[in-house]
């Protein structure tokens, strides 16, 4: 399997560019994305795309995993750059972007599952770990309440992401995420 061997630097760059281009394309155009358009957006030929991803399903699954990795890895990066509550709120925006891109891949992801694959096998655990990291930092900083679980936050931002499937709905999603953050900061008087 080609992914078992380390890739040359130029091949790795091409693969990363293809995954980035595919993530943007699926978020923007959904299922209507052509592989030719992804290759063009990545600045490579269609042959290069097929060398890395022999089928549309392979590209979608790899893009899904790539987007999940970027989202989850962002938790530590954001915490290194800004206060914990600001990092948590910024990560929530990234989650909504991730969910928008995932919706553009949904039909193909369902087909992968129907054929016996499971692209979601580690998704929930990775997401809960990232949120847990951000929550712990925010609690330790005394910024958010300590009685909220990572699962509660994931459920909340998952619900908010449902209203953000179209660009014109992003403002509403941002307001809802702000409300969620306000709720995380709330402390009763008792």
Domain boundaries, the chain: 1-54, 62-190
The DSSP secondary-structure symbol of 120 reads T
Task: Tell me how far apart the alpha carbons of residues 133 and 141 are, in angstroms, rounded to a whole number.
Answer: 12
Task: Tell me how far apart the alpha carbons of residues 190 and 174 are, in angstroms, rounded to a whole number.
Answer: 30
Q: Does domain 62-190 fall into CATH 1.25.40.10?
A: no
Residue 71 C-alpha from the chain's centroid: 4
Burial of 176 (0-12, 13-18, 19+ CB in 10 A): buried
Examine domains 1-54 and 62-190 and report if their fold is the same. Answer: no
- Note the pLDDT tens digit of each residue in 68-124: 999 999 999 999 999 999 999 999 999 998 888 787 788 788 878 888 877 777 888
- Note the pLDDT tens digit of each residue in 119-176: 777 888 999 999 999 999 999 999 999 999 999 999 999 999 888 766 678 889 999 9
Whether the pLDDT of residue 20 is over 50: the answer is yes
Task: Supply 92's token pair.
Answer: 């929530």
Class of domain 1-54: mainly alpha
Helices 56-81 and 84-103 sit at what angle, rounded to 10 degrees? 170
Residue 3 C-alpha from the chain's centroid: 22
Task: Tell me how far apart the alpha carbons of residues 156 and 173 are, in angstroms, rounded to a whole number.
Answer: 11
pLDDT of residue 73: 96
Reported as a pLDDT band with limits 50, 70 and 90, residue 4 is low
Task: Tell me how far apart the alpha carbons of residues 50 and 123 are, in angstroms, rounded to a whole number.
Answer: 26
Whether the pLDDT of residue 190 is over 70: the answer is no
Task: Tell me how far apart the alpha carbons of residues 79 and 140 are, in angstroms, rounded to a whole number.
Answer: 13
Residue partners of 76: CB distance under 8 A and separation at least 6: 133
pLDDT of residue 150: 97
């Amino acid at each position: 399997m080609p992914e078992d061997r380390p890739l040359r630097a130029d091949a790795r760059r091409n693969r990363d560019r293809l995954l980035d281009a595919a993530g943007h394309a699926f978020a923007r155009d959904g299922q209507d994305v052509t592989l030719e358009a992804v290759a063009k957006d990545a600045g490579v030929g269609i042959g290069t795309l097929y060398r890395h991803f022999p089928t549309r399903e392979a590209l979608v699954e790899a893009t899904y995993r790539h987007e999940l990795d970027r989202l989850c890895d962002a938790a530590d990066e954001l915490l290194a750059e800004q206060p914990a509550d600001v990092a948590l709120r910024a990560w929530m925006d990234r989650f909504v972007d991730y969910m928008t891109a995932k919706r553009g891949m949904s039909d193909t992801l369902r087909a992968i599952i129907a054929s016996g694959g499971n692209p979601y096998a580690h998704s929930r655990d990775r997401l809960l770990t990232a949120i847990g990291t951000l929550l712990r930092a925010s609690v330790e900083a005394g910024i958010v309440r300590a009685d909220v679980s990572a699962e509660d936050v994931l459920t909340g931002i998952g619900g908010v992401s449902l209203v953000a499937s179209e660009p014109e709905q992003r403002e509403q999603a941002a307001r809802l995420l702000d409300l969620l953050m306000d709720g995380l900061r709330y402390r009763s008087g008792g």
